[in-house]
């Protein structure tokens, strides 16, 4: 209760400082709109449906790309951790590609797929897969070898060992890998939406882009807030419960 109150107080204070800065009239109101103006824009965009439609379009792309990225990334990470050959080939490639900022995939995606949904999806997947591979690989490698030894003495065969020992043992790392993948997917998609205009759907990134084109600072800041809010929400609802469960079981971190 006390913690919630303090958090609310903190954000109220932030808005108050913002509003004070606007009143001080240091910058042009075109560059720094008042909080009320931004709220007004958001309310308006919410009412006429643009905001919800755009968020829907963006989330659909994000979830699809993320799901595909995970489906490819998790097994690949397990493979690179267990086979020297895959480690030396795909593992090195993943490490290299992971260092490539996901915006760098945009020109290639545009040339290959044109201004289509496919281009969006491709950028998101490329942004997700490699970081998931690396996180999963690291996770499996940090499992104490004694777990596998103990399982083997109890008669665990390779397949059984993978399903009942290696996978659950690497769960904390898989979850942090998934979380990282989510962050990368989110970033890639925003980059793609800001750079690529396509007719099949206007996402949040497009709204942000047009906010800049129209010099509508209230829209730019409003959409940025929405993007931050969605990121926070995903973290709190998708990942935090998992992490709490793992911390309780493993006895790591704060409980």
Give me the residues that bind other proteins (CB under 8 A), please: 144, 146-147, 149-156, 160, 164-165, 168-169, 171, 248-252
The minimum distance between CB 134 and other proteins, in angstroms, equals 23
Report the alpha-carbon distance of residue 162 to residue 175 in Å, rounded.
17
The minimum distance between CB 155 and other proteins, in angstroms, equals 4
* Lookup result for tokens 């108050």: 16
Task: Give the residue with the Cβ less far from other proteins, 25 or 255.
Answer: 255
The minimum distance between CB 228 and other proteins, in angstroms, equals 34
Asked if 178 contacts 239 with a C-beta cutoff of 8 angstroms, the reply is: yes
Task: Give the residue with the Cβ less far from other proteins, 110 or 165.
Answer: 165
Q: How far from 254 is each of 205, 248, 250, CA to CA, in Å?
A: 36, 9, 11
Task: Give the residue with the Cβ less far from other proteins, 39 or 143.
Answer: 143
Name residues whose C-beta falls within 8 Å of residue 59's C-beta, 6 or more positions apart in sequence.
230
Quote the distance between the C-alpha of residue 68 and its chain's center.
14
The minimum distance between CB 249 and other proteins, in angstroms, equals 6
Q: How far from 58 is each of 4, 76, 175, CA to CA, in Å?
A: 30, 27, 23
Task: Give the residue with the Cβ less far from other proteins, 144 or 200.
Answer: 144
């Amino acid at each position: 209760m006390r913690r919630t109150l303090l958090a609310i107080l903190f954000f109220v204070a932030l808005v108050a400082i913002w509003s004070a800065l606007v009143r001080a009239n240091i910058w042009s109101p075109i560059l720094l709109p008042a909080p009320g103006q931004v709220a007004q824009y958001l309310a308006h965009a919410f009412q006429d449906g643009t905001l919800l439609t755009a968020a829907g379009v963006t989330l659909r792309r994000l979830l699809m790309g993320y799901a595909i990225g995970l489906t490819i990334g998790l097994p690949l990470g397990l493979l690179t951790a267990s086979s020297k050959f895959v480690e030396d080939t795909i593992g090195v490639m993943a490490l290299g590609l992971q260092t490539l900022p996901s915006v760098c995939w945009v020109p290639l995606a545009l040339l290959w797929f044109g201004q289509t949904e496919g281009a969006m999806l491709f950028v998101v997947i490329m942004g997700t897969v490699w970081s998931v591979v690396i996180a999963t690989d690291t996770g499996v490698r940090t499992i104490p070898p004694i777990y596998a030894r103990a399982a083997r003495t109890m008669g665990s065969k390779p397949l059984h060992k993978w399903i009942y020992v290696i996978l659950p043992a690497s769960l904390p790392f898989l979850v942090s890998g998934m979380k990282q993948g989510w962050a990368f997917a989110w970033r890639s998609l925003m980059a793609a939406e800001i750079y690529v205009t396509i007719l099949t759907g206007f996402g949040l990134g497009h709204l942000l882009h047009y906010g800049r084109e129209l010099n509508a600072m209230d829209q730019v800041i409003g959409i940025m807030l929405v993007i931050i809010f969605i990121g926070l929400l995903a973290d709190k609802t998708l990942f935090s419960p998992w992490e709490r469960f793992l911390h309780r079981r493993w006895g790591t971190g704060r409980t």
